[in-house]
Structure 1
Amino acid sequence: SLKTGLALAQGGEFCFALIALATQYGQTGGERASVVLAITILSMILAPLLIRNSSKIVNLLYKKQEAKQSQIDQGDIEQQVSHIRQHTLICGYGRVGQTISRFLGQEKLAFVAIDNDPLHVHEAGLAGEPVFYGDSRRLELLESVGLKRARQVIICIDRSENALEIVKTIRSHYQDIPILVRTQDDSLTASLKNAGATAVIPEVLESSLLIVKHVLLMLGMDPNQVRGKINKAREQQYDILNGYYPGYEDVLADSEETSLRHAVNVCRGNTCEGLDPCDLPLEQDVSVVEVKRDGQSLDPEDVDALKQDDIVILTGPLAPMQQSEKNLI
């Protein structure tokens, strides 16, 4: 409530209109109007600072009370889940988290979930499910719901940056517990794996595989063959799906994390002509995923030397990929 008050404390343009009307009808004026205007303008100047630092201000004023309340809450949570062991700890209880919990429930496997949406927690609590409100980035909260006793951690929150913080928090104290991360895209896949995630499943890539599966089946391909191709894509960490050809929005965004694709033609006299695709002078995080020759797609490992009119497909972040293209010309 205090944070809300700080966010609403400033005056606005409507105050100017009220003062003008009050002055016009003789209700106020002179020094009084000037003081009110000065206070209003000052509050508008201070508003961004108050809003930006509202959490710090609240914590400063209520640090002891929050710490005491936090201890009470965590003690209550620990008591409620003390009997649960070898469970799956789910961070994020949206649609994906709830789907996972239902399948676990069908198999009589224990789970505990954390979510920062009070409505999710309330509705799940009414159903008697072990779902608790809080920020999964807090180690003390994770430990209060039995992180030490958990068999695995499933992170399925929308913000990949927050998921990365959770992985780092857990890995800073627990090295052995498996961590599976579901993300909406593949922008932070490498960072999550480097931070210690056991497996990262980008939702957009997995949904693409599901569509591909149905497309191939509708074309009459043998179901076993289709299953094998899909499983191979998963085993290869979605390499075949890595990156995509950018549009205007992607170029304008110039994201350092998003993996894009770009085609480079091998012309006579190019630096890359005659080189093995593995030996190309590419920037960091840029790689060759495909070589096209005479209308056929070739694996880079199957090409000994690039020839004139070959097309090299690069993948990586936009800026390094653009520099890599310059290195090949």
Structure 2
Amino acid sequence: MQHTDALPFLREALLFLALAGVLMPLLQRLNINQVLGFLGAGVIVGPYGLGLWAGEHSWLRYLVFQRPQGIAPLAELGVLFLMFMIGLELSASRLWALRRWVIGGGGAQVLLSALAIGLLAWLFGNRAEAALVLGLVLSLSSTAVVMQLLTERQALGYPLGQAAFSILMMQDLAVVPIFILLGVLAGGTGAGWLPLLGLTLAKSVAAVALIYLLGRRALEPLLRLFLRQRQPEVFMALTLLITLGIAGLTAAAGLSLALGAFLAGLLLAETQFRHEVEVVIAPFRNLLMGLFFMSVGMQTDLREAAGAPFWLLLSVPGLFIVKAAVVSLVLRVGGLPWGRAVEGGLLLGQGGEFAFIVVGQAVASRLLAPEVGHFMMLVVACSMFATPLAARLGRRYGDWWQRRHPLPAAPEVPAPQANHVIIVGFGRIGRMLAQILDSQGIAYVAIDNDPQLVAQLPDQAGRLHYGDAARGELLHRLAAGRAAAIVLTMDHSASALHAARTIRRDYPDVQLFARARDEAHAEALLRAGASLVVPETLESGLQLSQFVLHSLGFPEPAAAQVIQQERQRRIEAIQDSSPAL
């Protein structure tokens, strides 16, 4: 008994670790989505699965979770690390690069979906507060499921992958105000809830701004101070301390722990230690997220389906139809063809993992009736299980549409002569390079994955083509094997890396030049196979330095020589350091 009191949930912890040790490699070998695998395992070994028979068969007690509250604290850690990893992905620079899709596309999707679903919930007899909560929470999709599907398909570098990722980022950002709104509605309804919401939002914004501003100034010097000896265990301890410490600060300010974990990830994403953090956290993240999704499966009572099979069969497809219609419209307005827009709609049509948290809190605070909450959790769980099938159908439809409606310029891509330059990305840098090549009489062709940009530049007809540089057939049509050089100038760093790897694999002898966001990105591009990389921050700093030297009395040739030597030294340092990373 003493051992049981010391570790009251030891059996549950050991059972989970045993299941994780079996499930993770098995799901990977069978190519099954890990999120769905853990959800299914939670349903089977949970109190509403085999646990229902544990009283009659004593041996089942060692194989099932009869006390799901035993893993609740660990599952809460899973939520924290999920929010932390989302924050780590949402660096300010990345948000800015995808701002059109994140703010415009993602914001429109969340608002329109919440309005449509909330209106339906209200028409079915729910109170206005309950309908508002259901509309907002069901407008969110599953980041974990969708990101794994996109990663498995290697689709993150394509326009649809970037758009879906951007919408998911906006949805993840929307979780924070949803948590705040839920707390306000739970604290008081009626005529006084609007002033209370305004006060809570003001307090939340002030607390978040204070933590973020102070954290940006203190975090990187703190990490440098403690990491001089380069001990991995110190780095791991600091990462956990920062995550849980900031989560504790937000909880002390009356906000959620999840918000603090999100802020911790956002702060670390702005430091030079971001990639090391990802490596350190990855094992904990996968294990704890598996625990979280298993705990979600344990809350899924399939008897609810038996009690209302007709409504469940209507609700799951209905959720997909409403969200797919909204997402498809948003993606089409954003410039994607109808086929890929519908594919994206079906990919994002499910409910998200945060629905289980928000709906559970809404039931606990009596904003939602228990039977409504349990039914909605079941709908979300079933929609997540249905996502791989819906995504497969969407992809087939997208491919069929593309065959029926090919882009007009695709079959007319000319095969350029040898020794031309291929420019990948036709933003400000790509257009500047094109003008310089034009002035010197050097032939070039350009690729950009923004159809609106391609349509807005009719003067580049025949030389500017819509498409993705990571697609081998497009580069083959542009005679990449006979090109004098390929130049990557894209804004999106992940797309540049994906393109660099593909081009180097298919065309190992071509000169591949790339523009990088900073020196860390430059090192990653060199590892991916680029011949020469120029960081944007390096060039702007060198040019500014040259102007300063000239203003201090240096002759222009002497200043230019100093800057050229510094440029060469830094580029060589990047190239020398990249193989060891």
TM-score, normalised with respect to structure 2:
0.34
Q: Deviations over 1:70-108 (max 9, x none)?
A: 69965432xxx2254321100001111011111111111
Partner of 1:195: 528
Partner of 2:121: 16
Aligned residue in 1 for 2:396: 60
Write the letter of the residue equivalent to 2:430.
G
The match for 1:76 is 412
Give, in whole Å, the separation in 2 of the partners of 1:207 and 1:110. Answer: 28
Query: What is the match of residue 26 of structure 1?
Result: none
> Which AA in structure 1 matches 2:488?
I
Conserved? CA contact 1:233–1:240, under 8 Å: no
Residue equivalent to 1:185: 518
Structure 1 residues 226 and 54: alpha-carbon distance in aligned structure 2, compared to 1, 3 A threshold: farther
8 Å CA contact 1:205–1:238 kept in 2: the answer is: no
Instruction: Compare 52-61 and 138-147 and name the one that shifted more.
Output: 52-61
8 Å Cα contact 1:182-1:202 kept in structure 2: yes
In 2 relative to 1, CA 173–236 (structure 1 residues): closer, same or farther, beyond 3 Å?
same
Provide Cα deviations, 1:101-145, integer angstroms capped at 9, x if missing partner: 111111111110000111221122345351010111111111112
Q: More strand per residue: 1 or 2?
A: 1
Q: 1:237 aligns with which of 570, 573, 578?
A: 570
1:159: Cα distance to partner? Answer: 1.9
Higher helix share: 2
Residue among 139, 144, 159 paired with 2:492: 159
- Identity within the alignment, %: 25
In the alignment, is the contact (CA less than 8 A) between 1:167 and 1:195 conserved in 2? Answer: yes
Distance 2:122 2:519 in 1: 50
Q: Which amino acid in structure 1 is aligned with residue 505 of structure 2? A: S
Query: Partner residue of 1:217?
Result: 550
Q: Distance between the aligned counterparts of 1:83 and 1:108, measured in 2?
A: 14
Higher alpha-carbon Rg: 1
Q: What's the offset of the Cα at 1:214?
A: 1.2
SS in structure 2 of the partner of residue 204 of structure 1? helix
In structure 1, what is the Cα distance between the partners aligned to 2:386 and 2:454? 30
* Cα contact 1:116–1:134 (8 A) shared by 2: yes
Residue in 1 aligned with 2:478? 145
**Residue 199 (structure 1) shift:** 0.5
Asked whether the 8 Å contact 1:92–1:114 carries over to 2, the reply is: yes
Taking structure 1 as the reference length, the TM-score comes to 0.58
Q: What residue is the counterpart of 1:130 in the other structure?
A: 463
**Equivalent in the alignment of 2:58:** none
Unaligned runs of 5+ in 1: 24-30, 243-258, 260-283, 286-329
**Distance in structure 1 (CA, Å) of the matches to 2:117 and 2:313:** 10
Looking at structure 1, the residues matched to 514 and 557 of structure 2 have their Cα atoms a distance apart, in angstroms, of 28
Match of 1:87 in 2: 420
**Matched residue count:** 230
CA RMSD of aligned residues (A): 4.0
Equivalent AA in structure 2 for residue 219 of structure 1: L
* SS of the residue 1:177 aligns to: coil
Provide the rounded CA distance (Å) in 2 between the counterparts of 1:216 and 1:13: 62
Gaps of 5+ in 2: 1-105, 129-306, 320-375
Further displaced range: 57-66 or 156-165: 57-66
How far is 1:9 from its partner?
7.9
SS class of match (1:175):
coil
Cα deviation digits, residues 192-229 of structure 1 (max 9, x gap): 21222111011111111111111222222232221122
Q: Whole-Å Cα distance in 1 between the matches of residues 389 and 539 of structure 2?
A: 39
